[in-house]
Structure 1
């Protein structure tokens, strides 16, 4: 772990007693944050704790109602002076802000291209871009369309773009959420290199082990208030979780090894036979009612594409998926739903929710045909179903007609789960079900999964999180598009990770 620079006393950014309200909602109350030069400072807290609001204040996207913000001891510029803010701070978000159809060079110097009044000097633009990327050790082709880059490379391009404005303070908002283990480690290596070159980071993550891997200090927010700021080395993991939740103890997961084994004669719910498709080949497995089957592997393993093919989001190139003995029409989501498959997709913002609609609208999308003639459901019918979902899944909200866009990440994911279970499916496919949610929301989501398993439903969990996979009776490990190992409940972290990474633990 990188040590704090000796003698560093001046702050890169200092927020003192800042507060922010949105109508009657207190989003932040009397919060202070100080980030020292050259450190990686973690900002953690449950969904809804106030992290996003604080980031909006220190990046100039909104103005505090109370308190002050300073950079290097000088007052923050007025909100209207965007260039002044860009020279002081930048934020790299979980979801990329690059423009996919523009090249890397065009993204780096968007609206800052060199050339005459009506022309762009493409040669100079490429040269400047290559010089910028080389100076920060970013190895991508400047002529590549940004949409063709990996998630990892897009993040490095965004960091380089921020540095090109002169900012030496970068906010990384959930940067590892879409990266596999190897890409995460490469990100951390680059962060350490940039720290050594004088760059300071505010690091936001729900993966607390990452705080200990790459950060020197941590600030915890809870219920819109500051709880603690401390050197990472002086705060144990249990203490960190306690500070986030206000309760003692960390994540409690029902490990499949501790429950009674499934009866051998349990009926088959899903049969996948020699299935091949985008990024995977010749995968076969059978899933029984009341069984949880996990899939582990890197982001490049093909596990996500396999799950999406089972649900009909992708069309296979070969093989079949059968539910209850009936072969499904390939690449047909409606056929999968009619056959009794529900799904929590991996990207809740683009695949699982319509953010401009209410909780009631989102939670009832899959059952409109049951709520009214021709799929036209009355507001009262939708509200009734959604009110029950709010209670059943512990969705924290002002009411079922609140827009899902106003909910925290954990509560949004609960709405997605409620929608997927509204039709009472026999099979539930979960893809990264707890990504980007806090400890207690994660525990609540996994408890629902365990409950539906106990009701006799078959569950597929595809996840990068080992805790998600502990619910599984079996975990299949995928690597390079193939199933390479199977682990029964009770597996050890070391053995599972070794198979994911393709290394031998036991020579």
Structure 2
């Protein structure tokens, strides 16, 4: 591990995490992590999903206590977790999902629960708005205090949150994916404000999936991988290829996925997308052949998830067309997409994939009621027979298909979701993060099932940022900031794919 300089030798760091370890049951989320951020810096914290970034932020903001290790601010121990005011005076986090209350004005959000009160305990609104105007002017935030927060742009909400944090006295701000919802012009304005605030003595910890931004705005970068700190170095001294390699653990050669499965030629495509434009994606065209597995890769905010959800009818595009096995389903209609031949594994099995109190059998057959009976009536015998077949094929561990699906492990729940996606013998299987939150054995089983499905002649689209998911693909299409930017043929290296997903030019 290398260590970056942290300013003048006599100045303690604004924040120092030393030997921080955090466990959740048998899972180690952080293992002996060190982080030191010098005053006036913009310090980047990067790492792949699951590296430990979110857990470290929760420790640095006092939302969780480390199981081992210490946190200090400017050389002094961190406050007790219960002393929230003391934490607010030291650190604040501006999250990707805003914490501003839309129904309140800017002034009310800035001084929530800190309202000026006059005689009788009544709020003095004129004084509150005056204080808000002074605060916004002091930090050059051009927003009217009377404006409803719900009318602000994403960029304005971020600046209001920063001003609110500074009003408590904090001079250390964590920016969590601040550019994910901003366009190029707004990002430039954000970076200009960050530099201005740096000159006024504010220190930033900058978390981003877009590595190019690290080189634009940050002084130092720390890399987490597999719950450990791998590297801390000055950005100016760190080649881009070395940064990506530290994140992936992939050296110059990297790992290859051997996949000798043949793809059908001459058959009609399982999926054809032409000039599709929606809120999170622009002018996307792609094709998935029969028997082909295509990856759709991209970091958070790239548009990959929204695009996959549009294909199966969970969203409607503003323009463009989708064909599934030669049929054009009605935009925004899941039943039409299923009838055209789509099967779907959603991103979040808990909220989108399962009905927890329903049985395993019912969950596994929800998408094929027409196979279970006539006239809207379901035959329990047919349902249980189909469920038993699914349980056997997917190796779902349960003593009885009539038990609630909520009683299964995470891996077996995901197998139920996969079973339902395959129940209609789909011509196109669309999967979003299909192995998220499952154990290694379940992950390997599910990916083997994907290969088996492709061998049967179905096309497969996997939207994911997990490299293991993408290794089964014949080719990978990369999205960055709403557009398809590159295509990786079978045999790609980890560092090449990650660089493309993060918008990084390794030759720069």
Alignment match, 2:493? none
| Aligned mate of 1:159, from 158, 162, 175 | 162
- Work out the CA distance in 2 between the residues paired with 1:177 and 1:386: 40
Distance verdict in 2 for CA 1:26–1:151, change over 3 Å: same
Alignment partner, residue 340 of structure 1: 341
1: CA distance, partners of 2:225 / 2:488: 35
- 2:313 aligned with 1:312: yes
Query: 2:256, 2:155 → 1: CA distance?
Result: 30
Question: Which residue matches 1:41?
Answer: 43
C-alpha displacement at 1:82, in angstroms?
0.2
Instruction: Identify the residue that residue 75 of structure 2 maps to in structure 1.
Output: 73
Which residue of structure 1 lines up, in the alignment, with residue 175 of structure 2? 172
Query: Matches of residues 57-456 of structure 1 in structure 2 within 5 Å?
Result: 57-116=59-118, 118-249=121-252, 265-269=266-270, 289=290, 309-314=310-315, 322-342=323-343, 352=352, 384=391, 401-402=408-409, 422=422, 425-427=426-428
Question: After alignment, is 163-172 or 99-108 more displaced?
Answer: 99-108
1:10 is aligned, of 9, 12, 30, to 12
Query: After superposition, what is the alpha-carbon deviation per residue over 1:144-180, rounded to whole angstroms, capped at 9, x for unaligned?
Result: 4434444333333222221221111111223333444
In structure 2, relative to structure 1, the CA distance for the partners of 1:90 and 1:461 (3 Å cut) is same
CA radius of gyration, larger in: 2
Quick check: 44-53 or 447-456, which moved more? 447-456
CA contact (8 A) 1:290 1:453 kept: yes
In the TM superposition, what is the alpha-carbon distance from 1:60 to its structure 2 partner? 0.8
So what's the TM-score if we normalise by structure 2?
Answer: 0.66
Q: How many residues align?
A: 461
Mapped partners of 2:283, 2:14: distance in 1? 53
Distance in 2, matches of 1:172 and 1:326, equals 45
Flag the 1:19–1:107 CA change in 2: closer, same or farther, 3 A. Answer: same
Residues 295, 475 of structure 2: 8 Å contact kept: yes
Report Cα offsets for 1:336-388 as digits up to 9, x if no partner. 1232234577x759975679999x9999697686899669879x969958976
CA drift of 1:81 comes to 0.5
Unmatched tracts of structure 1, length 5 or more:
391-398, 405-411, 438-443, 501-507
Shift of 1:9: 3.3
CA contact (8 A) 1:46 1:222 kept: yes
Q: TM-score, normalised by structure 1?
A: 0.66
Root-mean-square deviation over aligned CA pairs: 5.8
For 1:174 and 1:97, the matched residues in 2 are separated by: 14
Measured against aligned partners, the alpha-carbon deviations of 1:106-127 in whole angstroms (never above 9, x if no partner) come to: 3222212223455333333333
Unaligned 5+ runs, structure 2:
373-377, 398-405, 438-443, 490-495, 504-508
Q: Is the 8 A contact 1:366 1:419 kept in 2?
A: no
Distance 1:69 1:283, change over 3 A: closer
The DSSP-based 3-state class of the residue aligned with 1:267 is coil
